[in-house]
Amino acid sequence: MTPLPEPIAQQIVAWLGSGEIDLFIGYEAGTVPLHATPAFIRKAGEVSRLIWDATCETNLAAYLKNLRGQKVGLMVKGCDARAIVGLMQERQWRREEVRLVGVNCPGVVDRLAVAERLGIGVEEIESASLEGDRVRVGDITLAIQDVLYPMCRTCTMRKPVLYDVLMGPEFQGSPQGDPFAHVREMEALSTDERWACFTAEVARCTLCLACRNACPLCYCTQCFVERTQPAWFTPTTAPEDVQFYQVVRTFHLAGRCVGCGACTRACPVGIDLRLFLDKLRLDALELFGYEAGVSVEARPPLTTYREDDPNDFIL
Ligand code: SF4
Ligand code: SF4
Ligand code: SF4
């Protein structure tokens, strides 16, 4: 648990004091081991609660959907800032409406990976701490790099693309492996095998909608899931309803998903949503040369047209 550097804390105090922001969203120590809690700071005297370390996993940009019209500041990792770029491309927020503390991100710790390494259930981790580049659980320490979330191990954009002030040393390591290796494995399967893979993975879905709620880019004020006129499906956990939800949500994120992993981390039953979302991210990259959340000025593939666009899907 590391307090914010003094100059950063002072900047947040100054923003609150000048009225540039009414609310700053960062992280504070929580009650769950290895998981910092989002902190909502409205007064200068509360800024000392803020921390930053490799347990700060929540993509705070997801809160912006409920804060339209307010003056907000927040802490952003590389992937969080990319989500904000997406919101700005889609005219949800203007750059001048938010103040950003960017953090050069070392990656965030996956509690499940820690538990797996220790051969215990995640609920058995009663207390843990970070010590430099290691995680301590009881008498055992593990290298943080060995227990990062999968998307962090292969991350190529740890430095935020947008910020007002930046903190932390730039990451000096290299991405560990191909970020799309899991997608390429699935692509090698036959159509029937892919369908079997998809239906087996989503069969556990309870339609709790935590994945939608955690996603900064799922911001519709009325989601198709909740519409009754027309009703797109019956919200039960029947296989066809679950599959319909997953397919529609995934395609709503086509060319928009920034790969932050917030949806997968939010899933209480451990469905690996990255598999489907990363397939569309890879398609956007390979078919249209597009990566979401890199530039506010860029035109997402679904909003533009090029003479040389691949048109294989048109009969
Ligand atoms: S995906 Fe990249 S920027 Fe996002 S938390 Fe992981 S390492 Fe940090
Ligand atoms: S769909 Fe998931 S990985 Fe993609 S931006 Fe939303 S929360 Fe992040
Ligand atoms: S968080 Fe998991 S269980 Fe809940 S709706 Fe999403 S995929 Fe289904």
Whole-angstrom Cα distance, residue 46 to residue 206?
38
Contact 217, 84 (CB under 8 A): no
User: Could you tell which of 206, 236, 242 is best to mutate to test the pocket of ligand 3, judged by most ligand atoms within 8 Å of the CB?
Assistant: 206
Q: Mutate which of 151, 159, 274 to test ligand 1's pocket (most atoms within 8 Å of Cβ)?
A: 151
- Length of the chain counted residue by residue: 315
Ligand nearest to the backbone CA of 268: 3
Rounded Cα gap, residues 34 and 55, in angstroms = 5
Q: How far is the CA of 315 from the centre of ligand 2 (A)?
A: 31
CA 261–ligand 1 middle distance (angstroms) = 9
What is the position in ligand 2's atom list of the atom closest to the CA of 250?
1
Q: Is the pTM of this model over 0.85?
A: yes
DSSP structure string for 45-60: GGGGG-B-STT----G
pLDDT in tens, 224-237: 888 888 888 777 88
Q: How far is CA 178 from CA 150, 174, 187, 229, in A?
A: 11, 11, 14, 43
Mean confidence (pLDDT) of the chain: 94
| Side-chain-facing half-sphere of 86: CA atoms under 13 Å | 28
**Structure tokens given for 102:** 């960017």
In this prediction, residue 315 carries a pLDDT of 56
User: Tens digit of pLDDT for each residue in 230-288?
Assistant: 888 777 889 999 999 999 999 999 999 999 999 999 999 999 999 999 999 999 999 99
Q: What's residue 263's pLDDT? A: 97
- pLDDT recorded at residue 314: 64
Instruction: State pLDDT tens for residues 300-315.
Output: 988 888 888 877 766 5
Diameter of the chain measured on Cα atoms: 63
Among 79, 89, 72, smallest CA distance to 24 is for 72
DSSP secondary-structure letter at 64?
G
Q: Please tell me the predicted confidence (pLDDT) of residue 234.
A: 79
| Torsion sign over Cα 127, 129, 135, 141 | negative
Q: So what's the pLDDT on residue 230? A: 85
- For residues 165-195, one letter each, b for 16 or more C-beta atoms within 10 angstroms of the residue's C-beta and e for the rest, the string is bebbeeeeeeeeeebbebbeebeeeeeeeee
Mean pLDDT within 72-87: 98
- State the average pLDDT over residues 7-31: 97
Burial of 303 (0-12, 13-18, 19+ CB in 10 A): exposed
How confident is the model over 155-210, as pLDDT tens digits?
999 999 999 999 999 888 888 889 999 999 999 999 999 999 999 999 999 999 99
| pLDDT above 90: residue 216 | yes
